[in-house]
């Protein structure tokens, strides 16, 4: 392993796995596959997307071939629409044609969409084969910890899926360099989120290193990804199947998901939507009597990272409210929010009056002054 590579273990008993974070790691994929005992005789299916394939697939394929692996590469269109049962069907077919057997491995090379899709292929092909995740975005650090894999249904996002843990995750920081700036910012929003819900010290570190992070300086980025993955890993290892604690990871997601749904997927990036959602959750905290500076600080931090903190004016409040009611986080019809009680600390509130939420949404609209 190259000097400066960080290694982190996601602790899930016998399904524990490491995350490697560093530069130049794609070229070491083959030897890592061997080290992890992935069978050379069984063909590999490499799933990637149209925006990533030309940048990184060659290097990965070469490294695997040099280690003796036979790799078939399947390319899906870039974007959320690839997370479908139709694409699952195609990839299962590609796996069968490539002769994948029960000892085979499916690799995800790409962002969160490719990770979720290829992960569900791995979870369901022959009722489950091995899975290796190679994220190429900052955002994907989130989906690379915790084993949640899924495709979308016409009526709801991420509704068809499984829990399927990877053998390991390979984070090559070099792949992040090709990300458009808007996606860098959106990805950093999710890193900051991990701090806001668990570790105030990491939030302060992000605040102090915003410039280095936005410049994708490898040392800072490597550290931040390590910390972000680590926080998520701690939470997930305490609650793998999302019975309770794991829900705190949804900080900012209640409003965020509704904004994505109403705007139509694509207008707002996920990280942008939850940035606005986190500011909303922090304002809700004030309603529950917590320090108003939590909301001010949350907003200042997101502005520093160049993230939106207001709801685009053309989105309708009633539609946003209605989209929230359909969110699958409302078990048995009650409104649930993750509410910060301090910078780096949250609680799960299952008693949030929808009138408060509506007020917050109204107050977050572009051009509206804070109440």
Residue 326 CA, distance from chain mean position: 21
> Is 254 part of any known ligand binding site?
no
CB of 82 to its own copies, least distance (A): 15
CB of 154 to its own copies, least distance (A): 7
CB of 128 to its own copies, least distance (A): 7
> Is 78 part of any known ligand binding site?
yes
Complex with its own copies: residue 85 or 245, whichever CB lies closer:
85
CB of 69 to its own copies, least distance (A): 14
Q: Which residue, 9, 16, 7, is CA-closest to 240?
A: 16
DSSP symbols for 60-115: HHHHHHHTT--EEEEEE-SSGGGSSHHHHHHHHHHHHHTT--TT-EEEEEESHHHH
> Is 253 part of any known ligand binding site?
yes
Alpha-carbon gap, residue 48 to 76, rounded angstroms:
6
Complex with its own copies: residue 153 or 238, whichever CB lies closer:
153
> Is 151 part of any known ligand binding site?
no
> Is 35 part of any known ligand binding site?
no
Complex with its own copies: residue 147 or 187, whichever CB lies closer:
147
In which element (H, E) is residue 9 found? Answer: strand 6-10
Complex with its own copies: residue 27 or 162, whichever CB lies closer:
162
- Interface residues with its own copies (CB under 8 A)? 41-42, 85-86, 88-89, 92-93, 96-97, 101-103, 123-128, 148, 150, 153-156, 159-163, 241, 328, 331-332
**Contact of 244 with 331, CB cutoff 8 Å:** no
Q: Which residue, 158, 172, 81, 93, is CA-closest to 119?
A: 158
> Is 53 part of any known ligand binding site?
no
DSSP symbols for 34-68: HHTT--SSS-EEEEEETTTIIIIIHHHHHHHHHTT
Distances (CA, A) of 192 to 142, 157, 310: 11, 24, 17
Q: Which residues are catalytic?
A: 127, 148, 190, 232, 242, 246, 250, 253, 257, 270
CB of 124 to its own copies, least distance (A): 5
Complex with its own copies: residue 161 or 252, whichever CB lies closer:
161
Annotated binding site: 78-83, 112-116, 136-137, 148, 157, 190, 253, 270
Residues belonging to the binding site for Zn(2+) are: 190, 253, 270
Show binding-site residues for NAD(+). Answer: 78-83, 112-116, 136-137, 148, 157
């Amino acid at each position: 392993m190259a000097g400066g590579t960080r290694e982190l273990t996601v602790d899930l008993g016998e399904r524990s796995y490491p995350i490697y974070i560093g530069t130049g790691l794609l070229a070491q994929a083959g030897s890592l596959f061997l080290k992890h005992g992935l069978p050379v005789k069984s063909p590999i299916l490499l799933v990637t997307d149209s925006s990533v394939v030309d940048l990184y697939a060659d290097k990965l394929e070469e490294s695997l071939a040099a280690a003796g692996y036979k790799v078939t590469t399947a390319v899906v269109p870039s974007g959320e629409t690839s997370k479908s049962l139709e694409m699952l069907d195609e990839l299962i077919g590609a796996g069968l044609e490539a002769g994948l057997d029960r000892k085979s491995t499916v690799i995800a090379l790409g962002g969160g969409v490719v990770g979720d899709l290829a992960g569900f292929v791995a979870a369901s092909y022959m009722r489950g084969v091995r899975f290796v995740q190679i994220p190429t975005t900052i955002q994907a650090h989130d989906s690379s910890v915790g084993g949640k894999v899924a495709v979308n249904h016409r009526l709801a996002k991420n509704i068809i899926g499984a829990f399927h843990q990877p053998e390991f995750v390979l984070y090559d920081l070099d792949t992040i360099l090709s990300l458009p700036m808007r996606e860098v910012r959106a990805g950093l929003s999710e890193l900051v989120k991990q701090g806001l819900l668990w570790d105030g010290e990491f939030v302060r570190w992000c605040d102090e290193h915003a410039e280095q992070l936005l410049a994708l300086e490898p040392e800072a980025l490597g550290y931040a990804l390590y910390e972000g993955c680590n926080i998520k890993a701690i939470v997930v290892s305490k609650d793998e199947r999302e019975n309770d604690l794991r829900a705190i990871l949804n900080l900012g997601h209640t409003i965020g998901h509704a904004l994505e749904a109403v705007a139509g997927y694509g207008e707002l990036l996920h990280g942008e939507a939850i940035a606005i959602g986190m500011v909303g959750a922090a304002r809700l905290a004030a309603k529950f009597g917590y320090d108003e500076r939590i909301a001010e600080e949350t907003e200042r931090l997101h502005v520093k990272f160049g993230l939106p903190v207001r709801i685009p004016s053309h989105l309708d409040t009633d539609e946003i409210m209605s989209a929230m009611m359909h969110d699958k986080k409302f078990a048995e019809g009650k409104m649930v929010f993750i509410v910060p009680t301090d910078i780096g600390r949250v609680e799960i509130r299952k008693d949030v009056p929808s009138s408060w939420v509506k007020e917050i949404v109204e107050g977050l609209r572009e051009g509206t002054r804070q109440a």
